[in-house]
Chain A
Amino acid sequence: MSSSVVSTVSSQTNALASSKRASAQAALAYAKQARASSSGIWVGVFAITMSFAAFTSALFVREGTSDWSHLTLPTVLYFNTLILLASSLTVEMARRVLAAEPVQAGKGTSQKAGAWVWITLLLGLAFCAGQYRAWQELRAEGIYLATNPNSSFFYLLSFLHALHVLVGILVLAYLAVRLMASRGAIRRSLFDNTAIYWHFMGVLWVYLFLLCRMKL
């Protein structure tokens, strides 16, 4: 009898221990997954950088040919650059709000972070609208994609960058909705990685803008 009691107790202890072990394992798996997402985003950033490096080398090769001319960039681009840099600041604000409560973000915190994400998203959209405006200004001057190699490179680089920004905007929209709706039930790693991607979009644009400014 007593031995069966002991065994019951020990099996309960075992069950407790195994459930603890299971949750520790789950936490470990979660941490691994978060690390993998972080590696993933950096690898992605690297691949995009490599693609634009290839475009840059194409630009350098093309620069040496006879029909290379000059392109005056629309002034709205300076304004767009500022908007995109500002959006980098706002996404960083959101990240800091969430980082203040690392384990479980309360409703207030979540919504505050969500608000910053909405602002970032709107700034991102404003940037895309601004880029569209720049293309329209060029078209109004009669400068199209195939007009000369300079315009080809400008349209190509700015369009591909805008496409990447739009992908970022989609993820931001998902995050903003989730943050406003519930109690921060988003994966923190997803948020942090989106922020890294968004900062990268800013850095990439500054690089492309300088490249176009100096070379085209």
Chain B
Amino acid sequence: MEEGAVQQAHVHAPPTGFWRKYVFSLDHKVIGKQYYALGLVAVFTGMFLSWLMRIHMVWPAAKIPLLEHLSPAGAPGGVITPEYYLSLLTMHGTLMVFFVLTNAPFAAFGNYFLPIQIGAEDMAFPRFNMMSFWTTFLAWVVLMLAFFIPDGPPIAGWTSYAPLSAIGKDAGPGMQFGMSLWGLSIGIFCIASLLGALNFIATTLDLRAKGMTLMRMPLCCWAWFITSCIALLAFAVLLPACILLILDRHFGTSFYIPGGLVVSDRLQPHSGGSPLLWQHLFWFFGHPEVYIAILPSMGIVSHILVNSMRKPLLSAKVVIYSMMSIGFLSYMVWGHHMFLSGMNPMSALAFSFPTLTITIPATILTLMWLGSLYGANLQINSASLFALGFISMFVAGGVSGFFLAQPSIDIYLHATYFVVGHFHMVMGVASLFGVFTGTYFWFPKMTGRMMNETLGKLHFWITFIGTYCIFMPFHYLGLIGNVRRYQSFVDDFMTPYIGVHKFVTVCALITGAGQFIFLFNLIYSRFKGKPAPENPWNATSLEWSIPSPPPWNNFGDRHPVVYHDPYQYGVKGSKGDFVMQDSPEQVVPASGD
């Protein structure tokens, strides 16, 4: 056992060789960067798909160069067919929700910073960690294959509602092999996410450094921990849902397909299945998934905002408890996606109530951020701008949630652009703003170089104004009755509003182009940026007590001991107005406090 103990002093040996260092690495930092890179590829792919959709919507006859080569059937002569529009929509949603919003704020930053911030050398199970990244990568490859098969990607949308998702080629182009690839990809993604969540939970519970009590963990660690608990439950339900879908599609079972169903003039050879079963299982995953996307960003923003404010939050504990309540409540609200699916009005009420309740912890969080900002000496940089942008997006997108949560109003707004505007702002863009915040803040630690602030601020203003210009009109379009997922607007009542759509498309093109500033900044600063010191932001948490970039075993042979919570700002410390978590010095309040 003694031998084993000595081997255990380091969880794994220093990496040697190209493959172990950069490809099949056990190092949580490399794995975090791999997740980030995959998220980056996915987000630009997803953005490009949204461009194609927006262009097609307002200029339906536009010829897109090269698209014909990718899909001769979907875009003959480069003109997108209505079905191919739905394929693009499905792939946009799937890539963004799974491979961007789940990967970037949670798996990428969580992997990189959770172990360092709690004073551990690595995640609890480095091999599982490596497996979970490569399984995610496999899921991405399987999904992307759908673009390159003759059938094309599925047209079912990212929610893939049964029974059409379960019956195969009668449901339209892409619904034969493309849909199968989708089901397989998401099934694989579930396994990867379960492995990841397991790793996060065990790491947070058991590998904390001496003195790092749960309440002394940085808020982003709390957010990653709560998110991993949500992910564990959510993906454990989506996986069975995908298994049942695959069985229905390929093994003749009838879990989701009802009897007597006629699609494309063909009687489907199934009996008795329940299409609503898919919706229940999917949304039992799907709603918590929204919080899997947004909670890590809430944690990241809270953590980084405190650093820019140079004073603690009104109450970090309240932030933690609010995030916990959101996590808990996220499991009681899935039915609010199904108000119009044929539900007992009483159960609609039962789902509406917790949905409205969840706005209470969300509002408390917002008040905590805004209240703490009051009187703070806020330092404006790219990271803090995006943190403020996050709060703005979260509030602006969240307010429309009040309307959608009420069954009577939702009857009108269901499946309109109002919903599209709502979730893009509150879950999509807000979560991405969290990722941008994290990137501008942690880039120096991850690469040893500073990002360019001017380009960062330019990126912020284009993105911030651009997103409002894109998604605010969506609410308006929804209110006038613009149904989502339509590829063109031929109804008389819609023709006066095509101008609004054109405005949105132009804004989407500009905002999307603005993201290349970010990409350029990322690549340029990686190689040519100003060298970063150990602690450029005068921050308190443990990652800033080690070199930038950190060595393979994070703390070397040092075993950090933690004396304070991570928000000792606005005090008299030996290094300035802050005291680091692992500094044994007494905290002296700054004069005047």
Contacts of A68 on B, CB cut-off 8 Å?
272
How many whole Å from B450's CB to the nearest CB in chain A? 34
Residues of B within 8 A of A32 (CB): 206-207
Extra contacts besides A37-B124, A61-B276, A104-B1 (8): CB < 8 Å: A26-B5, A30-B8, A33-B11, A39-B201, A54-B281, A62-B255, A66-B272, A149-B253
Residue of A nearest to B276 (CB): A61
Q: B241, A62: Cβ atoms under 8 Å? A: no
Q: Tell me, yes or no, whether A174 is within 8 Å of chain B by CB.
A: no
Tell me if B198 and A40 are in contact (CB < 8 A).
yes
With known contacts A67-B259, A67-B271, A58–B6 Cβ distance under 8 A: no
Q: 5 closest Cβ contacts across the A-B interface?
A: A67-B272, A146-B252, A50-B236, A36-B124, A36-B206
A156 beta carbon closer than 8 Å to chain B = yes
Whether A12 sits at the interface, judged by CB under 8 Å, is no
Chain B hits for A122, CB < 8 A: none
Q: Is the interface of B mostly helix, strand, loop or mixed?
A: helix
A61–B5 CB distance below 8 A:
no
Query: What residues of chain B have their CB less than 8 Å away from a CB belonging to chain A?
Result: 1, 3-6, 8-9, 11, 121, 124-125, 194, 197-199, 201-203, 205-207, 232-233, 236-237, 239-241, 243-244, 247, 251-255, 259, 271-274, 276-277, 280-281, 284, 557, 559
Residue among B8, B276, B284 having the largest count of chain A Cβ atoms under 10 Å: B8
Binding site for B on A (CB under 8 A): 22-23, 25-27, 29-30, 32-33, 35-37, 39-40, 43-44, 46-48, 50-51, 54-55, 57-58, 61-62, 65-68, 103-104, 145-146, 149, 152, 156, 160, 185, 187-188
For residue A37, give the distance in angstroms from its CB to the closest CB of chain B: 7
Partner of B559 from A25, A27, A48, A187 at Cβ < 8 Å: A25
What residues of chain A lie closer than 8 Å to B206, measured between beta carbons? 32-33, 35-36, 39
**Set of chain B residues within 8 Å of A25, measured between Cβ atoms:** 9, 559
The secondary structure that dominates the A interface is: helix
- Distance of A94 from chain B, by nearest CB (Å): 18
With beta carbons under 8 angstroms apart, the residue of A29, A47, A152 that contacts B247 is A152
Shortest distance in angstroms between A155's beta carbon and chain B's nearest beta carbon?
Answer: 9
Q: Tell whether A65 pairs with B232 under 8 Å between CB atoms, given A54-B241, A185-B3, A185-B4.
A: no
A33-B124 CB under 8 A given contacts A44-B198, A54-B241: yes
Q: Shortest distance in angstroms between A63's beta carbon and chain B's nearest beta carbon? A: 10
Chain B residues closer than 8 Å to A156, beta-carbon distance: 243-244, 247
| Residues in B neighbouring A66, C-beta threshold 8 A | 259, 271-272
Interface centre among B199, B203, B243, B259 (most CB of A within 10 A): B243
List the B residue with the shortest CB-CB distance to A151. B253
**In the complex, are the beta carbons of A61 and B277 less than 8 A apart?**
yes
Of listed A29, A37, A57, A156, residue having the most chain B CB within 10 A: A29
Give Cα A187 to B1, complex, Å.
Answer: 8
Interface contact B252-A145, CB-CB below 8 Å: yes
Q: Could you give 12 example pairs across A and B, Cβ below 8 Å?
A: A29-B5, A36-B207, A37-B124, A39-B201, A39-B206, A40-B198, A50-B236, A57-B280, A57-B281, A67-B259, A149-B272, A152-B253
Contact across chains for B4 and A40 when beta carbons are under 8 A apart: no
Complex alpha-carbon distance, A29 and B5, angstroms: 8
In the complex, chain A residues whose CB is within 8 Å of the CB of B240: 51, 54-55, 58
B8:A146 contact, CB within 8 angstroms: no
In the complex, A44 Cα to B125 Cα: how many Å?
13
Q: Out of A27, A36, A51, which one reaches B202, CB within 8 Å?
A: A36
Please measure, in the bound complex, the distance between the C-alpha atom of A61 and the C-alpha atom of B241, giving whole angstroms. 13
8 Å CB contact of A22 from B8, B9, B284? B9
Q: How far is the CA of A35 from the CA of B8 in the complex (A)?
A: 13
Chain A hits for B557, CB < 8 A: 22
Q: Is the CB of B255 within 8 A of A152?
A: yes
Q: Which A residues lie within 8 Å of B243 (CB)?
A: 156, 160
Assess A58 versus B281: contact at CB under 8 Å? Given A25-B559, A152-B247: yes
A8→B340 CA distance, assembly (Å): 82
